[in-house]
Amino acid sequence: MPKPQFHVIVCTNSRPPGHPRGSCAEKGSQEVLMQFFEELQQRNLFEKVLVTGSTCTGPCMLGPTVIVYPDGVWYQRVRREDVPTMVTEHLMQGKPVERLRLPDEVWG
Ligand code: FES
C-alpha cells in the first residue's frame, strides 16, 4: 500500500443530548464521513487519500469539522452535499474550498 498523499480527518465525536458544547455527530458528521468513503470509492482514490473519523478536534460549535493534512486546512460546518466538491477541488485539483474554510480567528 503506497503512502497516502492526503489525510482527511472528520470529527465524529458525540456527546449526550443537551450538552452545552454540542457535537459534530449531532450535526451529521457520520454522514459526512460516509460520503467521503463513497466518493473515494467512486473515484478510485483510496491509495491517494486516507479518511478517518476522530474524537473532538476543538471548534465544536462550528462542526462538523474536517481537517486535511498535510495542507493543514480546516473546514467548518461541512455537510454531506459539500463532500463531492471538497474531493474534486481540494483532493484532486489541490485547491481548498474557501467558502468552507474555518477562519484562523477561531483560534484566538
Ligand atoms: S465535537 Fe467535533 S470539534 Fe468538538
- Whether pTM > 0.75 for this model: the answer is yes
Q: What does the block give as the cell for 84?
A: 463531492
pLDDT at residue 1, as a whole number: 83
Torsion (CA) 59, 62, 64, 69 in degrees, nearest 10: -60
60 alpha carbon – ligand 1 mean position (Å)? 4
Average pLDDT estimate for 54-73: 97
Atom of ligand 1 nearest to the CA of 56: 4
pLDDT at residue 22, as a whole number: 96
Domains of the chain: 11-71 (3.40.30.10)
56 ligand 1 Cβ < 6 A: yes
